[in-house]
Every structure is written in C-alpha cells, then in structure tokens.
Amino acid sequence: MTGLAADAAAQDDRVDVDVELVLAVDISYSVDEEEAHRQREGYVAALAHEDVIRSIQGGPLGRIAVTYVEWADTGFQRAAADWTVIASEDDALDFAARVASAPFERGHYTAIGSAIADGVRRIEENDYTAPRLIIDISGDGPQNQGLPLDSAHALANRSNIVVNGLPVISANEGRWVRPVEVNLEGYFRENVITGPGAFVLPARTEDEFRVAILRKLVLEIAGAMPSQSELELTGLGRAP
C-alpha cells in the first residue's frame, strides 16, 4: 500500500500540458558539420516563431513540454535542451537559446530505432502528463545500427506515442545534405513513423527544411492533420 500511495503522490506532482514533444535530430557523420548546425538553426528559428507560439497558446492549457535531443549511434542520444514547459514567447525564446548554445557533438552511425526508444524513455520518465505524446524524428538516411525499428515501434505503440518523420533528402551532391540511395521519404513512411495520424514531411533544401519544421511543429502542437492540398503540394505522407 505504501508503494501504491507513493506512486499516486508522484502522479499528483506531474504537470499537465497539452503535448509532450521530443524533437530528435540526427547528427551522425552522414550529416556534415555545417548541415548539422543549420538543422539546429532551423529548429531554433521555428521554436521562436510566432506561429508556433500562437499554436501553443491556443491549446486547452496553453502550454507544452518539449525536449531537444541530438542522436546518432546506439548509445548516443544527448539532450541539447532538457524538458521545458513553453507557455509564452519568453519561454520559447529561452528554450531556443539553450538549444542554440548547447555544446556540439557528433556520432558515427544512424540508429533510428534507438533514438525512438530513447524518446519513449524520456516521455515515460518525465514530470509531465498530456493527452498527446509525440516523437519527431529527423534524419538524412536509413537506419544502419541499433534497435530494430519494429521493436522501437512496439515500445512507442505500447505507450500511445506517435512518431512523425522529417527526412532530409537530396538527389545531388552538396553541402546541405548527402545524396541517398533509397527513396528516403518512402523509407520513413514505411519504417520510421508509427501511431494514429503519424505523417512524414520531407525537406530537400535548407530553406525547405526551415519551412517544413515550422509547419510540422504547428501541426503537432495544434493536434491537426495536413490538408489534402498540402499533401499534394509538399509530398507529405500519412501513416496507413
């Protein structure tokens, strides 16, 4: 009974928010250092954008809990900014500033399943409770190490966590992203995302990445789905 009472007390101490959101960003060596910094800059700009802040404040409680995690190898998942409640423009700007100033590290491989499992753990162990739980995975290549994706999906599904995807795609050599040998958008749709209403929003250039992450955050925070016109215009893909 003592254990049950302690569990109930712990639950009472949890803070209610509209969304718990893990932003999980690939910084493996397939992403060069300049690209990795630009990815971070794209998230920083989106987090402080008025559309994101308006979406947060428009929720039933007007606040979300978010953490920004950079990942690569099986054992490499590091929070550049730990769990924070955002309810105002000042909160958003402070969180974005912490993301921007965090030390920068790299990893070798692309362990997407391990990144998902890490996101599940972070949601399960945090001090918040919300009706919507989301892990937002961005990356520029398929998995080549780590926990099998079907096992990662099982962990997320068991905890009612939706996994969305933002594949960063290029058909040409260049500094923004490396060319990929698979249909990365299709790979993310078939292998990475999971949960009711999960969707993929690809980005192919630096500018498109900034637009994609901004739109994706607004949709996730608002609990909205892309419109059919957006699906046709941008190539978004929903989970079956």
**3-state class of 15 per DSSP?**
strand
Per-residue pLDDT at 230: 52
Altogether, the residues listed in the chain come to a count of 240
DSSP assignment of 49-96: SHHHHHHHHTSSSS-EEEEEEEE-STT-EEEEEEEEEE-SHHHHHHHH
Cα separation, 142 vs 34, whole angstroms: 20
Per-residue pLDDT at 228: 60
Q: Is 207 exposed, middle or buried (0-12, 13-18, 19+ CB in 10 A)?
A: exposed
- Give the predicted TM-score (pTM) of the model: 0.87
Per-residue pLDDT at 2: 52
Per-residue pLDDT at 30: 73
Per-residue pLDDT at 105: 84
Per-residue pLDDT at 170: 61
Residues in the chain with pLDDT values less than 70: 1-12, 32, 170-181, 226-240
